[in-house]
């Protein structure tokens, strides 16, 4: 039986390869049924990968995940509840409503008003929308300390799926949407992943897919550099991914502004490197690719999801293992939460948009063949979110050194339901004129606090000058969070003073005027370790 399945899969692979042709007349030709099969393979791979890695998410930080991984094809149904899928389907629904040329602000609006929880760069982009900070400012490092986070990287799949062999078209769409929540490497992550899919429609060799996709992002970017490092490490250690992992972790593992000072790393480029590591060392084998990408750790549901989706496009749905195909088929018409889409309807819709874009870009379609006009990738202008920004230290608001309280500040306490233990979570004030001052030495600072349903407004002064006003209200999707409520970077090196002045004002929907503070993260400016690091085999 196993031999029969292998033979069928081999034949399916030959059919797919024979049905995707590069030609010398400026067009690439693909059969209509193969296009749909590859799009279906991409969506299926996304669903398979996210459910395979879901139980391990962030359970391995700065280390390899060593525990057993238990997964069965029936687990694919869990993708119905995964943000890796439903967030990007919101963008597809935006196109359904406003057309293929939906303005970036409309994408941001539907995304911000969606009823589901968001995190990191996505959550900040939603908050920015309600604070009237719109794309592209919503994703800029000045307004989003998560600019380099993974968010857009895990939401750009559909762009690549609907741009077969058209990386230039995909990049243009990705730049428009990616800047809603990200900037620089955060946007390049989405462009690169989308380009992997675009190239995978006509290229079956994994290394070539990666090398071609790299042409869609700036060679000067750290994202390009880390992927290039993975390629070199794979050449040096072709049969030992763990040695390669150790080298990449040593060089890049602590380059994350969002998780500064901790082992937590949700940076797009490190997690993107794990996608590529899984693809190269997985050697086209679905289970091997899933396992390696997952064991690399950090955001280990998102990364195998992207890696498996690349294999899904290369192999097509019909080329995936039979048990995986069946796991998808049985829930093919089930609706992903927060969307109007199922797997089957997402495939149909994505194919429709692919055909529209192919024609728009000069392609030709008839009953037997789809001819896609060949595109050369065009990398965007280089953006750097946090040039040479280095974590220095975190100062708790309960650490009396460095903080000066003026007015009526109180401790906000929480009580554990398990053992009734009282914990001081933050300090808050709510009357106009209440102040909190912190002196620090460095080039940047982030003030962490709580976005709550009774959050109010404050003015923040840097070295005596008003930097901007903030609004700490947040009650979307019933989320209440400890986050960076304000930050400033690129100050002159030296001593600085930040003054937070409560305004005693609120937006109409807020239940109060409180401003909650938990800590401050101090940054300095210095060459990052990865700029001078040499791999062990280069010494």
Closest to 171 (Cα-Cα) out of 214, 110, 211: 214
Residues 92-109 have a mean pLDDT of 97
Residues 362-385 have a mean pLDDT of 97
β-bridge partners, 514: 455
- Whether 382 maps to a domain, the answer reads no
Q: Report the percent of the chain where pLDDT is more than 90.
A: 88
Q: How far apart are CA 52 and CA 327, in angstroms?
A: 12
268 and 205: one domain?
Answer: yes
Of 317, 340, 373, the one marking the end of a domain is 373
Residue 441 pLDDT > 90, yes or no?
Answer: yes
pLDDT classification of 422: cutoffs 50, 70, 90: confident
DSSP 523: E
230 and 304: one domain?
Answer: yes
- Whether 536 maps to a domain, the answer reads no
Q: How far apart are CA 518 and CA 538, in angstroms?
A: 44
pLDDT classification of 415: cutoffs 50, 70, 90: confident
Q: What is the dihedral of CA 55, 57, 61, 65, to 10 degrees?
A: 40
29 and 164: one domain?
Answer: yes
- Whether 378 maps to a domain, the answer reads no
- Whether 73 maps to a domain, the answer reads yes
358 and 472: one domain?
Answer: no
Of 329, 346, 373, the one marking the end of a domain is 373
425 and 346: one domain?
Answer: no
Residues 444-460 have a mean pLDDT of 97
Tell the residue number behind the tokens 């900037």, with chain if given. 183
Task: Give SS3 for 395.
Answer: strand
Q: Which parts of 262-405 fold into alpha helices (H)?
A: 268-282, 286-295, 302-315, 322-329, 343-360
- Whether 218 maps to a domain, the answer reads yes
Tokens at residue 33, please? 């049924």
* Separation of CA 35 from chain center: 26
- 8 Å CB contact between 363 and 372: yes
176 and 95: one domain?
Answer: yes
Look up the CATH number of the domain holding residue 394: 2.60.120.260
Say what the pLDDT of residue 24 is.
Answer: 55
Residue 395's region, left for phi above 0, alpha for psi from -120 to 50, else beta, is beta
Q: How far apart are CA 524 and CA 445, in angstroms?
A: 9
Q: 355: domain range?
A: 2-373
pLDDT in tens, 484-505: 999 999 999 999 999 999 999 9
Q: Which parts of 54-103 fold into alpha helices (H)?
A: 83-98
Look up the CATH number of the domain holding residue 347: 1.10.4080.10
Q: Give phi and psi for 355, each to the nearest 5.
A: -60, -40
pLDDT in tens, 24-80: 579 999 999 999 999 999 999 999 999 999 999 999 999 999 999 999 999 999 999
Residue 16 pLDDT > 60, yes or no?
Answer: no
Write down the mean pLDDT value for the chain: 94
pLDDT classification of 6: cutoffs 50, 70, 90: very low
Say what the pLDDT of residue 416 is.
Answer: 77
DSSP 89: H
Q: How far apart are CA 314 and CA 320, in angstroms?
A: 10
Residue 165 pLDDT > 60, yes or no?
Answer: yes
Closest to 343 (Cα-Cα) out of 7, 9, 25, 39: 39
91 and 153: one domain?
Answer: yes
Buried b (16+ CB within 10 A) or exposed e, 486-514: bbbbebeeeebebbbbbbbebeeebeebb
Closest to 191 (Cα-Cα) out of 153, 139, 148: 153
Residues 125-132 have a mean pLDDT of 97
Residues 306-333 have a mean pLDDT of 98
405 and 526: one domain?
Answer: yes
In sequence order, what are the residues at sequence separation of 6 or more whose Cβ sits closer than 8 angstroms to the Cβ of residue 238?
A: none
82-96, 221-235, 325-339, 395-409: least confident range: 395-409
Say what the pLDDT of residue 421 is.
Answer: 86
436 and 501: one domain?
Answer: yes
241 and 284: one domain?
Answer: yes
Residue 252 pLDDT > 60, yes or no?
Answer: yes
Say what the pLDDT of residue 363 is.
Answer: 98
Q: How far apart are CA 349 and CA 351, in angstroms?
A: 5
Of 373, 398, 420, the one marking the end of a domain is 373
247-256, 273-282, 416-425, 524-533: least confident range: 524-533
Residues 141-152 have a mean pLDDT of 98
13-27, 62-76, 331-345, 458-472: least confident range: 13-27
Q: How far apart are CA 4 and CA 27, in angstroms?
A: 36
Say what the pLDDT of residue 439 is.
Answer: 97
14-28, 104-118, 287-301, 447-461: least confident range: 14-28
In sequence order, what are the residues at sequence separation of 6 or more whose Cβ sits closer than 8 angstroms to the Cβ of residue 296?
A: 60, 64, 65, 245, 274, 277, 278, 303
pLDDT classification of 539: cutoffs 50, 70, 90: very low
Closest to 228 (Cα-Cα) out of 536, 539, 535: 535
| Selected residue with higher pLDDT from 333 and 255 | 333
500 and 412: one domain?
Answer: yes
Q: Is the pTM of this model over 0.85?
A: yes
| Beta strand 444-451 pairing with 515-525 | antiparallel
Residue 1 pLDDT > 80, yes or no?
Answer: no
For residue 521, the surrounding DSSP H or E stretch is strand 515-525
27 and 166: one domain?
Answer: yes
Q: How far apart are CA 49 and CA 128, in angstroms?
A: 31
Q: Which parts of 379-466 fold into alpha helices (H)?
A: none
Residue 463's region, left for phi above 0, alpha for psi from -120 to 50, else beta, is left
The number of domains in the chain is: 2
pLDDT classification of 481: cutoffs 50, 70, 90: confident
Q: How far apart are CA 223 and CA 213, in angstroms?
A: 12
Residue 538 pLDDT > 80, yes or no?
Answer: no
Tokens at residue 93, please? 């629904």
């Amino acid at each position: 039986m196993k031999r029969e399945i292998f033979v069928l899969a081999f034949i399916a692979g030959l059919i797919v390869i024979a049905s995707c042709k590069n030609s010398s007349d400026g067009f690439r030709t693909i059969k209509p049924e193969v296009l749909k099969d590859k799009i279906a393979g991409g969506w299926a791979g996304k669903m398979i990968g996210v459910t395979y890695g879901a139980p391990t998410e962030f359970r391995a930080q700065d280390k390899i995940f060593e525990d057993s991984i238990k997964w069965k094809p029936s687990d694919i149904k869990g993708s119905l509840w995964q943000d890796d899928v439903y967030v990007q389907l919101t963008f597809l629904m935006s196109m359904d409503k406003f057309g293929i040329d939906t303005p970036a602000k409309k994408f941001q609006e539907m995304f911000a008003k969606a009823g589901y929880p968001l995190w990191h760069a996505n959550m900040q982009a939603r908050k920015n929308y309600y604070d009237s900070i719109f794309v592209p400012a919503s994703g800029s490092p000045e307004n989003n300390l998560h600019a380099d986070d993974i968010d857009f990287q895990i939401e750009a799949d559909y762009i690549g799926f609907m741009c077969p062999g058209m990386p230039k078209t995909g990049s243009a769409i990705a730049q428009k949407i990616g800047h809603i929540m990200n900037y620089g490497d955060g946007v390049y992550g989405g462009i690169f992943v989308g380009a992997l899919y675009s190239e995978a429609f006509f290229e079956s060799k994994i290394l070539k897919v990666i090398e071609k996709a790299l042409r869609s992002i700036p060679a000067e970017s750290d994202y390009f550099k880390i992927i290039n490092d993975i390629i070199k490490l794979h050449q040096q250690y072709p049969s030992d991914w763990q040695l390669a992992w150790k080298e990449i972790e040593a060089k890049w593992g602590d380059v994350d502004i969002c998780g500064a000072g901790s082992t937590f790393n949700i940076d797009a480029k490190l997690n993107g490197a794990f996608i590529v590591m899984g693809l190269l060392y997985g050697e086209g084998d679905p289970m091997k690719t899933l396992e390696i990408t997952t064991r690399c750790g950090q955001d280990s549901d998102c990364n195998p999801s992207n890696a498996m989706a690349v294999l899904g496009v290369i192999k097509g749905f019909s080329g995936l293992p039979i048990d995986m195909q069946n796991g998808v088929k049985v829930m093919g018409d089930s609706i992903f939460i927060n969307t109007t889409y199922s797997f089957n309807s997402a495939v149909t819709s994505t194919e429709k948009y692919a055909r529209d874009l192919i024609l728009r870009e000069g392609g030709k379609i008839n009953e037997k063949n789809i001819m896609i006009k060949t595109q050369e990738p065009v990398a965007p202008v280089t953006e750097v979110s946090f040039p040479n920004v280095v974590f220095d230290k975190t100062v708790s608001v309960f650490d009396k050194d460095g903080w000066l309280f003026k007015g009526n500040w109180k401790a906000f306490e929480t009580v554990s339901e398990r053992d009734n233990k009282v914990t001081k979570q933050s300090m808050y004030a709510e009357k106009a004129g209440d102040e909190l001052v912190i002196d620090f030495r460095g080039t940047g600072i982030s003030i962490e606090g709580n976005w709550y349903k009774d959050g109010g407004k404050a003015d923040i002064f840097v070295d005596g000058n008003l930097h901007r006003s903030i609004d700490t209200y947040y009650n979307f999707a019933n989320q209440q969070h400890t986050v960076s409520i304000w930050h400033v970077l690129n100050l002159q090196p030296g001593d600085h003073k930040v003054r937070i002045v409560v305004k005693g004002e609120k937006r109409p929907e807020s239940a109060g005027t409180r401003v909650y503070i938990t800590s401050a993260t101090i940054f300095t400016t210095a060459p990052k370790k990865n700029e001078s690091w040499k791999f062990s085999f280069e010494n």
